[in-house]
Amino acid sequence: MDDITVLKLKGISKTFHGVRANSDVDFTLKKGEIHALLGENGAGKSTLMNIISGLLQPDKGEIFIHGKRQKIQNPRRAIQLGIGMIHQHFMIVPGFTSLENIILGSEPIKGVTIDFQQARRQIAILSDDCGLSIDPDAVTEDLPVGIQQRVEIFKALYRNAGILILDEPTAVLIPQETDTLFKILRKLVKKNISIIFITHKLQEVMQIADSISVMQQGVIKGVFSPEETDEQALAELMIGREVLLKNDYLPARPGKIVFEVKKLTVMNSRGYEAVSDVSFRVREREIVGIAGVQGNGQAELSESIAGLRKIKSGEITLSGRRMPALNPRKMIENGLAHIPEDRLKHGLVLPFSIADNQILCTYYRRPYVHFFGRNPKAILKNSRKLINRFHIKARGPEEAVQNLSGGNQQKVIISREFSRDSSFLIANQPTRGLDVGSVEYVHKQLIMLRDKGLGVLLISSELDEILSLSDTILVIYRGRVCSIVRKEDATMESIGRIMVRGFE
């Protein structure tokens, strides 16, 4: 590896409304290396990368690219300087083909029209060069996530990016896709492209990075090579305290059946069968995990169970009683707790206060109503109690939920759902987008509930999570349950294979 520095940051500081997001950050990227930037959510990684890619201006500090001091006023300038950013939420225009997505903003022109021939040729050359293939005429939004990400990488390469920044690139990928991505990154590095890899996943850092910078609360805590450190040390540096990386929870002692689904078939919004003939049961003191690549019917399954989606056929039984379809209140009153997949859309009313969000399911009952209206005293009292019990970081019960961090928003949902007297919980992607500290917290809470006697249905596309928490694992593929495995018999590889093709 060359020792040429391509990017150097010196003393970068950035403050938002009095909160230091970056303070005095130094960072060096060498040519042809993969440099991981490790840190929890809110540690300041994204701020730093947005400064490099021209979306934000630093309050203080200098940026050097190839040894020359540069000011990056806007994304256009960053692109000119050879910086390509691959955002966590893909910047793919709906309805556009991959070709259109790639050339957008840097279109080759012939006369007055876009020179599509020329663009096609350039993409073909890039394809050969990097050993990456894509279909330029496919509509990008319809492609699998892994391929969409490849289109994003193409976008950067098409602009001759010498520095690639990947923001949490594996958050949306299954293990096999992650492996493919890593192979691609290795190939790019051989072509002398330098990569900044932002993540909070420790194993990945150890697997792919040539050097690792750990960031905590806006400060770089240290720069290491993977040989001179280990996961435990990195985790402690990143969080600032000791953490449990491995969950060694006590095994479950399942009791009687609390929840049962028989021959359930559900259609998706387009009118196709999304869940086909699914049957399973969940017992007391047991966590049943549903593993699967996103979009294989998990959303429809959990919505139908929660009473939010029409059932085509089949039946759902909760606490021994058959449940009517499309009646969420009835489900809740019968002991259902629900952590929805998209907390911003279905879990919370963002402009409402924490206190109001915590009584969304019980607002119509005493003590939250008295006489003809709300009982603010009881609502606030309840909220203060829950904020303390679940360690929600907020200025008070009246703060709007939209001002909280992702982890604390999830805590608000958890506090609401766990404070009721329920017997069954569906948790759909309960830790998506949360940092290590919050993930650990959510996991502990799930286990605690299980041990308290609840049946838990855990739906997650994070295999690690499914494997470490579930007592029984179902694998869902194209709406069907393809495999039921006990925890002891499950391995990452076998389940990963079933997830992508439906059989071992």
Partner 1 sequence: MITASKAKTDSKDRIFFFLSGILLLSIILYSYWISPLVTVAILTSSLRQSTPLALGALCGLICERSGVMNIGIEGQMLLAAFFGFLVNVWTGSLLLGVISGIAAGMLAGIIFALMTVSMKMDQIICGTIVNLLAAGLTGYFYPTGINATGKLKAYSFPFLSELPLVGPVLFRVSPIVFSTIILVFLVHFLLFFTQWGLRTRAVGEYPRAADTMGINANIVRFYNIIIGGFFAGLAGAFLSLEAVGVFERGMTNGRGFIALAVMIFGKWTPIGAWGAALLFGLALAVQTQLQFDQVLSIPHQFTGMLPYLITIIVLAIFIKRNRPPGSLGVPYEKK
Residues in contact with partner 1 by CB under 8 A are: 50, 53, 55, 74-76, 79, 85, 87, 91-96, 100-101, 103-107, 109, 112-114, 139, 142, 155, 270, 272
Asked if 383 and 363 touch (Cβ cutoff 8 Å), the reply is no
Rounded to a whole number of angstroms, the minimum distance from the CB of residue 284 to partner 1 is 38
| Residues 83, 165: Cα–Cα separation, whole Å | 8
Closer of 93 and 223 to partner 1 (Cβ): 93
Closer of 115 and 315 to partner 1 (Cβ): 115
211-216 and 219-224: which strand pairing?
Answer: antiparallel
| Residues 127, 184: Cα–Cα separation, whole Å | 12
Rounded to a whole number of angstroms, the minimum distance from the CB of residue 204 to partner 1 is 24
E-strand stretches of 310-449: 313-318, 321-322, 336-339, 369-370, 373-374, 424-428
Closer of 53 and 429 to partner 1 (Cβ): 53
For Cα atoms 302, 304, 308, give the angle at the middle one, nearest 5 degrees: 100
Amino acid at 458: L
Asked if 441 and 452 touch (Cβ cutoff 8 Å), the reply is no
Closer of 112 and 250 to partner 1 (Cβ): 112
For Cα atoms 347, 349, 351, give the angle at the middle one, nearest 5 degrees: 145
Pick from 183, 210, 207: nearest CA to 195: 210
Pick from 162, 230, 228, 146: nearest CA to 196: 162
| Residues 292, 299: Cα–Cα separation, whole Å | 11
Amino acid at 77: R
Rounded to a whole number of angstroms, the minimum distance from the CB of residue 87 to partner 1 is 7
Closer of 69 and 76 to partner 1 (Cβ): 76
Sign of the Cα torsion 301, 306, 307, 308 reads negative
Task: Compute the residue count for the chain.
Answer: 504
Rounded to a whole number of angstroms, the minimum distance from the CB of residue 101 to partner 1 is 8
If one counts every other C-beta atom within 10 angstroms of the C-beta of residue 57, the result is: 12
Amino acid at 314: G
- 363's CB contacts (< 8 A; 6+ apart) are 356, 369, 374
Rounded to a whole number of angstroms, the minimum distance from the CB of residue 500 to partner 1 is 17
Rounded to a whole number of angstroms, the minimum distance from the CB of residue 49 to partner 1 is 12
Pick from 292, 336, 347: nearest CA to 426: 336
Rounded to a whole number of angstroms, the minimum distance from the CB of residue 384 to partner 1 is 33
Closer of 119 and 463 to partner 1 (Cβ): 119
Closer of 105 and 131 to partner 1 (Cβ): 105
Rounded to a whole number of angstroms, the minimum distance from the CB of residue 95 to partner 1 is 6
Pick from 324, 309, 316: nearest CA to 270: 309
Helix (H, G, I), strand (E, B) or coil at 178: helix
Amino acid at 410: Q
Closer of 237 and 293 to partner 1 (Cβ): 293
Closer of 96 and 182 to partner 1 (Cβ): 96
* Burial bucket for residue 112 (CB in 10 Å: 0-12, 13-18, 19+): exposed
Closer of 155 and 285 to partner 1 (Cβ): 155
Closer of 55 and 233 to partner 1 (Cβ): 55
Rounded to a whole number of angstroms, the minimum distance from the CB of residue 75 to partner 1 is 5
Write the DSSP symbol of residue 244: -
Rounded to a whole number of angstroms, the minimum distance from the CB of residue 54 to partner 1 is 9
Rounded to a whole number of angstroms, the minimum distance from the CB of residue 142 to partner 1 is 5
- Looking at the DSSP bridge assignments, the partners of residue 214 are 38, 222
